Amino acid sequence: MDNEKSLYNILFIEDEVTIRENYVRFLKRYFENVYEANDGEEALSIYNKEKIDIMIIDINLPKLNGIDFLKIVRENDHTVKAIMLTANSDVDTLLSAIDLKLSQYLVKPITRDELKTALNKAIGEISKFNTNNKQVLTLNNSLTWNYDNNELTLDDVTVALTHKETKVLSILCSNPNKTFTYDDIIFDVWYEDEDNKTDALKTIIKNLRKKLPENTIKNVFGIGYKVEA
């Protein structure tokens, strides 16, 4: 993980609100899309709706515990990476579930450096085994977005984008057909200084629309923006 935000989608599952909020805030520095869940059932609902690349799962969750949640996921998905958060007393239980294919388990309390190391390992596994399908998104027959280099091409010609335009478009293209709220986009683009950026975001969208075919970026009234593929 470095200063350039990753396109991998993260799901952080933890029922202790303060811990979850702190780590979600930390993860948003490094990843474009960070989802959060309070319990196993909520996590399963998010997992079924979104394309998740890496899951960070507390073993002791209400409604559906971390192991049972991951067992359900593993019935059909052996590619999503899983990092399990455990207490010392949970380790034997966790190690008995050897078919869960964990990238790593971390004994709580965990440091941010430990989490970064585990995430780098998971990302390395994704790259090594090529389980991530993100390469090129086709928005229409002539417009494509390249995930590897954040490059937009129209009729095979590279479209010149400013840094902020690239950031906004990378967010929208990271999950096509999903509506990103104004606040989500503003936080991800100006996460060190996100106050009073609504007008700036509207200006970037206006400038992007001038460079793209009509209706490439759709406004969902009162909520945010999305691209469709």
Residue 181: phi and psi, rounded to 5, are: -70, 160
For residue 130, pLDDT beyond 50? no
Other CB atoms within 10 A of residue 152 CB: 24
Q: Name the least confident of 31-40, 111-120, 123-132.
A: 123-132
Q: 215 exposed, middle or buried (CB, 10 Å; 0-12, 13-18, 19+)?
A: exposed
Cis peptide bond upstream of 109, omega within 30: yes
**154-174: string of b/e by CB count within 10 Å (b at 16+)?**
beeeebebeebbbbbbbbbbb
pLDDT at position 141 is 73
Beta carbons within 8 Å of 139's beta carbon, 6+ residues apart? 145, 173, 176, 216, 227, 228, 229
Q: Which residue has the tokens 């683009």?
A: 189
Name which of 55-59, 90-94, 198-202, 220-224 the model is least confident about.
Answer: 90-94
State the DSSP code for 159: P
Instruction: For the chain, list the domains and their CATH numbers.
Output: 6-129 (3.40.50.2300), 136-227 (1.10.10.10)
Q: Which of 76-85, 118-127, 212-221 is most confident?
A: 212-221
**Confidence band, pLDDT 50/70/90 cuts, at residue 3:** low
pTM higher than 0.85: no
